[in-house]
Each structure stands twice: as structure tokens, then as C-alpha cells.
């Protein structure tokens, strides 16, 4: 099957994007003017622009949209204020994670963004649940948003740039909230969020205006284009999961360290797929769980084995590599409960050699989300 | 060298723009050893040029049968900023194609294989503190190790510069 292209494909080529296949899309892994390492550090110090239009954007409408979606995800969407968003997970009947997603609640619809790599299975799952819900008389409707690009502007300089471009005071635009902003004449759906650990925005804009908007943002000398390479190392430092690696459909949100995404009311009431497997784990514990590691010596990558000091295999790395910001090797992985406490000394096998490792709290690099002080 | 990990992106790094090695290697003139029979020596037949592997490594063998090994400019471009290098232990013997170390960037880890069989007589320790030498000078100061060849015939199976460049351009498309 030919790779799909976002509305910014030609733009990427023109700007020296090295295109690679990713989740069925042709996406820039980096740009010729900046290596992954430099691009990563640039994001932490200035601002980077990422094309994330490959992600699946959906619009859920209908009178019963909130109660419908609560069957599928663990978030308390009743409580979620209007124009606010939350990280959540779609669960299956066994309590495993079908996908992670960001859900944004508006007065007349819910905006959902999920992973490109999971787009097909997410849609199949949601549509199947919709038809069951409708048969029971529920009023809900789903539309895939395929005429809008999604641009992520990330980094400490993102806010001042966006503020200048839309000529609006953004000081009360808090992390994980959403707004419609007019950016130089373009109508944009903007959330103050991202996947880098930095302050920043994800900007939904019509595909036809996306290149113009990207060029407007790039006019600022502090903005550089960044690709999947930097996006991956940035999110790892921020302790954020990558579906298919750190999360999958056999892993529950409790094992994944995402218990905080399960709303208080949801813990009492359940009412989402797999709740009977997930909720007892909150009190009863789990066999293995996601942790962060700092590793001496060689970087440990996905599938590297984790051992205790008695050389027993206790887990596996799911994402890992050198951290450009810390200049240390970081990794996240799953290990047997009991070894998960910070400062626990462990070992990770890289190319048949044991490397010293220590469990650490995530994020590895402090996040800079724009929250009320 | 092979790219073992490029998490989530693709199984192989693809490079747009292709092979653009403009470096020129000035080598000392090859001394042709004539024997009393008047033919070229065995050494000069084998050791007449820098050789390459499909795994994007080079080996440059001197008149004493010592091969200097490194990764190519194409490889360092594909890999990106090198942040970690694992070098083979001096004194150890490796067979051709055996894993002798690794070169890692933020995005990928790449195994290094012995381009020829032999004993490691030196590792480039400068790389431990300065792995970026591989990006700056992959085919000179950024060399990885020196091997005392045990079977010079293996060189015949490696690629010459022209074949290697062809191999790179086929990988880029």
C-alpha cells in the first residue's frame, strides 16, 4: 500500500525533511539542517514545529456522547470542564489498552486525538461500540476529521510566538485547555499540550491553510522544524508512553502507571470496558509495572532485559536510549513489582553484557507544562 | 554495520539525497614489491585499495597486513550524531562478520562487524570521550580499531569504492 502523505508533505521535502515510513505515513524523521540531537536540544531551549497531522482526529457528537465515550475510556468526562482535555486510554474487555488518546470536551462535541498507528483498530472498535450504543437508543455520532492538519509548536518560546501571531493574551490559557484562535486570519483549534514535556501547543488548522501557517511560524528565528526522531527522544525524557512499545493491548493502565487517568468516580462506578480487571488492581496491586531507569555504560534499547542483582530476569526495556538533555542513558520498561521503588539497583543486559541500572522517578527531565502556580 | 534499532520508524534508515562523499583520500604510493620472479607480491595484490562492506564499514590495509576499520561517511550520515561507541577489546580474535562493537546515536544502535578475520591490535580510545569524531571524520580520525589480518584472501570478497557507492545508491532508493 502506498504511504499516506499529510498536507505538509511537499513542504517537508522542500525543507529537507528525511522522509521515513511511519504507521502507514511518509513522515520526516529529521530535517537536513539539524540532526536529532541538535533538534532535541533546540526544542528544550527555543521552539520546534512538528507536523503531527498523521494522528487520528475525530469528532464525537450527539446528545449522549459523554456517556457513550465513558464506556470506552477510563476518564471522568462528566467532571471534565468544557474546553479542557485529558489524557486517557481506550480499554478492551480484558483491561488492556487499545490506544492512548487525548480527549477534549467542547459544548457541542468531543474532540479526540489518537495514534496514527492505531487508527484502523481504534475506528473499528469505536464504530462497533457506536452501533451497539445506537441499537440501545443512544444518540451519538462519529466523524473522522480528515480535512485538518495538526501542527505542534513546542518549547519555552512557543507561547510568546503564538501570542504575537494571534495578538491575544495567552497568560490564562492553561495546560490541557483548548481554544479557538484566529492566527493571522486562520481559524485554528488550539490546545495547550504536546508530547515533549515542554510548554507548547497543538494547532488544528484546515489542511489548505497548513503550509501557510507553518511558514508563518517558521519566520521566527527561534522556530525550527523537528521530526519523529526528536519527538521520540523528547517524549522519552518526559516519561510519556509510546503506544506499541510502552503500552499495548495486554497492558492495563494500572501496570502502565496511568492509574491517575482513571477518574475518582470511575474507580467507584467502573462502567468502562475491562473495569472488572483494572479496578481491583488499584488496591490489590499488579505483577509488573512500568518504571524509569538510568543505565550506566551503553544505552539500552527496546527489548533489553532487566535483571535484579541476583541475575534473575525481572523485566524488559520498552523504550530507551541516550538522553540528550541529561547526557545519561534513560529507559522505561516493565519489571516485577517489588523492584519498582526509586533508587533500586538493577542490571540491564546490552549486547550480552550487564550494565548497572537504577530505578528513577519519571519524568527524567522536569516537565514545563503551563499550570497555575 | 547494521541498524538494529530505529524504534517505530522503519526497519532501515532511508536517506534522501543519497551518497555524497566528496572526500578525497590521499594515499601514499603503493610500493610494488617485485620478487626475484618478477611478479607482484601476494601482499600488494591484496593490499592495493581501501575496501568496503555492504554493512557500511571500510577497512584500509597497510603493507604490514594491519587493517584500519571504520564506518563510512554514508553510515554516519544515516546514523546521525554518534553519542556512544563500544570498541572491541585489544588482543581478542574475531572471525569475519562477527560482532565486534557498536556505534549509537540518539535514534539508533548499530552493530559493528569485523570486515575481515584477525586480532584486534588497537582500538581508537579517543572515541570514548569524543564519539562525535565519527561524524566529523568517519574515514580518517574517527577510525574504530586496527585488525591484524589472519586471512587476507577475505579482502577479495569485499567491495571496492565504485561497487560500494553503487550499493549505497541502491539503498537510498
Percent of chain B with pLDDT over 90: 66
What would the mean pLDDT of A304-333 be, rounded to a whole number?
A: 97
Residue B171, pLDDT score:
81
Residue A58 banded pLDDT, cuts 50, 70, 90: very high
Say if residue A266 is in the same domain as residue A303: no
- Higher confidence at residue A226 or residue A35? A226
Residue B48, pLDDT score:
55
**A137: domain CATH number?**
3.30.1360.120
What would the mean pLDDT of B80-103 be, rounded to a whole number?
A: 95
Distance CA A192, CA B170 (A): 44
Say if residue A111 is in the same domain as residue A189: yes
Contacts of B80 in chain A (CB under 8 A): 30, 35-37, 229
Does the residue A175 lie in any domain? yes
Residue B7, pLDDT above cutoff 60: no
What would the mean pLDDT of A252-256 be, rounded to a whole number?
A: 98
Residue A373 banded pLDDT, cuts 50, 70, 90: low
Contacts of A228 in chain B (CB under 8 A): 8-9
Contacts of A332 in chain B (CB under 8 A): none
Q: Is the Cβ–Cβ distance between A44 and A198 less than 8 Å? A: yes
Q: Is the reported ipTM for this assembly greater than 0.95? A: no
Contact at CB, B10 and A298, closer than 8 angstroms: no
Does A299 lie at the interface with B, CB-CB under 8 angstroms? Answer: yes
- Binding residues of A are 202
Residue A22, pLDDT score:
96
Which candidate in B86, B109, B132 is best for mutational testing of the A interface (most A CBs within 10 A)? B109
| Closest alpha carbon within chain A to B103 | A298
Residue B173, pLDDT score:
60
Contacts of A22 in chain B (CB under 8 A): 8-10
**A330: domain CATH number?**
2.40.30.110
Give the distance from residue B89's alpha carbon to the nearest chain A alpha carbon, in angstroms. Answer: 13
Does the residue B72 lie in any domain? yes
What would the mean pLDDT of A349-364 be, rounded to a whole number?
A: 97
Residue A3, pLDDT above cutoff 50: yes
Say if residue A62 is in the same domain as residue A120: yes
pTM, two decimals, is 0.89
Cell numbers placing B66? 594491519
Does the residue B2 lie in any domain? no
Contact at CB, B16 and A18, closer than 8 angstroms: yes
Which candidate in A25, A37, A233 is best for mutational testing of the B interface (most B CBs within 10 A)? A37
Say if residue A196 is in the same domain as residue A101: yes
Residue A176, pLDDT score:
98
Contact at CB, A321 and B107, closer than 8 angstroms: yes
The residue behind cell 484566529 is A182
What does the pLDDT look like over A83-130, one tens digit per residue? Answer: 999 999 999 999 999 999 999 999 999 999 999 999 999 999 999 999
Residue A314, pLDDT above cutoff 80: yes
> What's the number of domains chain A is made of?
2
Does A36 lie at the interface with B, CB-CB under 8 angstroms? Answer: yes
Residue B2, pLDDT score:
53
**B70: domain CATH number?**
2.40.50.100
Does the residue A352 lie in any domain? yes
Examine residue A363 and say whether the peptide bond preceding it is cis (omega within 30 degrees of 0).
yes
Say if residue A211 is in the same domain as residue A347: no
The closest CB to that of B7, out of A32, A302, A329, belongs to A302
What does the pLDDT look like over B121-169, one tens digit per residue? Answer: 999 999 999 999 999 999 999 999 999 999 999 999 999 999 999 999 9
* Nearest residue to A107 via CA among A180, A5, A42: A180
What does the pLDDT look like over B10-66, one tens digit per residue? Answer: 333 333 222 223 233 333 334 444 333 334 444 444 455 799 999 999 999 999 999
* Nearest residue to A287 via CA among A315, A310, A261, A327: A315
> What's the number of domains chain B is made of?
1
| Closest alpha carbon within chain A to B108 | A321
Say if residue A280 is in the same domain as residue A298: no
Residue B107 banded pLDDT, cuts 50, 70, 90: confident
Say if residue A46 is in the same domain as residue A160: yes
Residue A330 banded pLDDT, cuts 50, 70, 90: very high
Could you say which residues from 113 to 152 on chain B have a Cβ atom under 8 Å away from some Cβ of chain A? none
Does the residue A373 lie in any domain? no
Contact at CB, B9 and A322, closer than 8 angstroms: no
Domain closes at, from A243, A270, A285: A285
Which structural domain, as residue segments, surrounds residue A208? 1-285
**Residue A247 C-alpha from the chain's centroid:** 11
Distance CA A285, CA A269 (A): 19
Which structural domain, as residue segments, surrounds residue B131? 57-151+160-173
Say if residue A179 is in the same domain as residue A320: no
Does the residue B15 lie in any domain? no
The closest CB to that of A229, out of B14, B84, B106, belongs to B106
Residue B38, pLDDT score:
38
What would the mean pLDDT of A302-306 be, rounded to a whole number?
A: 97
Give the distance from residue B109's alpha carbon to the nearest chain A alpha carbon, in angstroms. Answer: 8
Give the distance from residue B7's alpha carbon to the nearest chain A alpha carbon, in angstroms. Answer: 8
Give the distance from residue A57's alpha carbon to the nearest chain B alpha carbon, in angstroms. Answer: 20
H or E element, residue B71: strand B66-71
Does B171 lie at the interface with A, CB-CB under 8 angstroms? Answer: no
Tell me how far CA of residue B47 lies from CA of A248, B27, B30, B123, in angstroms. Answer: 53, 12, 9, 21
Does the residue A372 lie in any domain? no
Residue A1, pLDDT score:
83
What would the mean pLDDT of B85-110 be, rounded to a whole number?
A: 95
- Binding residues of A for substrate are 202
Say if residue A275 is in the same domain as residue A197: yes
What would the mean pLDDT of A171-197 be, rounded to a whole number?
A: 97
Give the distance from residue B14's alpha carbon to the nearest chain A alpha carbon, in angstroms. Answer: 7
Contact at CB, A322 and B104, closer than 8 angstroms: yes
Does B25 lie at the interface with A, CB-CB under 8 angstroms? Answer: no
Amino acid at each position: 500500500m502506498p504511504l499516506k502523505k499529510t498536507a505538509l508533505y511537499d513542504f517537508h521535502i522542500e525543507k529537507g525533511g528525511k522522509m521515513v515510513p511511519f504507521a502507514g505515513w511518509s513522515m520526516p524523521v529529521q530535517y537536513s539542517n539539524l540532526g536529532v540531537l541538535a533538534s532535541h536540544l533546540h526544542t528544550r531551549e527555543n521552539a520546534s514545529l512538528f507536523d503531527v497531522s498523521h494522528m487520528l482526529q475525530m469528532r464525537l457528537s450527539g446528545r449522549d456522547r459523554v456517556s457513550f465515550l465513558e464506556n470506552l475510556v477510563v476518564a471522568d468526562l462528566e467532571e471534565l470542564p468544557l474546553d479542557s482535555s485529558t489524557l486517557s486510554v481506550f480499554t478492551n474487555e480484558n483491561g488492556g489498552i487499545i490506544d492512548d488518546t487525548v480527549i477534549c470536551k467542547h459544548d457541542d462535541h468531543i474532540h479526540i486525538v489518537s495514534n496514527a498507528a492505531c487508527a484502523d483498530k481504534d475506528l473499528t472498535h469505536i464504530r462497533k461500540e457506536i452501533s451497539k450504543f445506537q441499537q440501545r437508543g443512544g444518540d451519538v455520532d462519529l466523524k473522522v476529521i480528515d480535512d485538518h492538519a495538526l501542527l505542534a509548536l513546542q518549547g519555552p518560546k512557543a507561547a510568546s510566538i503564538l501570542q504575537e501571531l494571534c495578538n491575544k493574551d495567552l497568560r490564562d490559557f492553561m495546560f490541557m485547555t483548548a481554544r479557538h484562535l484566529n492566527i493571522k486570519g486562520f481559524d485554528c483549534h488550539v490546545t495547550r499540550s504536546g508530547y515533549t514535556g515542554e510548554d507548547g501547543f497543538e494547532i488544528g488548522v484546515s489542511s489548505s491553510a497548513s503550509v501557510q501557517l507553518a511558514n508563518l511560524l517558521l519566520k521566527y528565528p527561534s522556530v525550527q522544524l523537528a521530526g519523529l526522531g526528536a519527538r521520540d527522544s523528547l517524549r522519552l525524557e518526559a516519561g510519556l508512553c509510546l503506544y506499541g512499545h510502552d503500552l499495548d493491548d495486554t497492558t492495563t493502565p494500572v501496570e502502565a502507571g496511568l492509574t491517575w487517568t482513571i477518574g475518582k468516580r470511575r474507580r467507584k462506578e467502573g462502567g468502562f470496558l475491562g473495569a472488572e480487571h483494572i479496578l481491583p488492581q488499584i488496591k490489590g496491586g499488579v505483577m509488573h509495572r512500568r518504571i524509569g531507569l538510568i543505565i550506566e555504560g551503553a544505552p539500552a534499547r527496546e527489548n533489553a532485559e532487566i535483571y535484579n542483582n541476583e541475575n534473575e530476569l525481572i523485566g524488559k526495556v520498552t523504550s530507551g536510549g541516550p538522553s540528550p538533555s541529561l547526557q545519561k542513558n534513560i529507559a522505561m520498561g516493565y519489571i516485577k513489582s517489588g523492584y519498582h521503588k526509586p533508587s533500586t539497583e538493577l542490571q540491564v543486559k546490552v549486547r550480552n553484557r550487564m550494565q548497572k541500572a537504577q530505578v528513577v522517578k519519571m519524568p527524567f527531565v522536569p516537565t514545563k507544562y503551563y499550570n497555575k502556580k | 554495520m547494521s541498524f538494529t534499532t530505529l524504534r517505530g520508524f522503519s526497519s532501515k534508515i532511508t536517506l534522501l539525497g543519497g551518497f555524497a562523499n566528496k572526500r578525497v583520500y590521499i594515499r601514499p604510493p603503493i610500493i610494488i614489491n617485485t620478487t626475484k620472479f618478477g611478479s607482484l607480491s601476494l601482499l600488494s595484490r591484496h593490499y592495493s585499495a581501501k575496501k568496503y562492506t555492504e554493512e557500511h564499514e571500510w577497512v584500509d590495509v597497510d603493507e604490514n597486513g594491519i587493517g584500519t576499520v571504520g564506518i563510512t561517511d554514508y553510515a554516519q550520515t544515516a546514523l546521525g550524531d554518534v553519542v556512544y561507541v563500544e570498541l572491541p577489546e585489544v588482543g581478542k580474535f574475531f572471525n569475519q562478520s562477527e560482532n565486534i562493537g557498536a556505534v549509537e546515536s540518539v535514534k539508533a544502535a548499530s552493530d559493528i562487524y569485523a570486515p575481515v578475520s584477525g586480532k584486534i591490535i588497537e582500538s581508537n580510545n579517543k572515541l570514548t570521550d569524543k564519539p562525535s569524531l565519527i561524524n566529523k571524520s568517519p574515514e580518517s580520525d574517527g577510525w574504530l580499531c586496527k585488525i591484524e589480518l589472519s586471512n587476507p584472501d577475505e579482502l577479495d570478497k569485499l567491495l571496492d569504492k565504485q561497487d560500494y557507492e553503487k550499493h549505497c545508491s541502491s539503498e537510498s532508493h
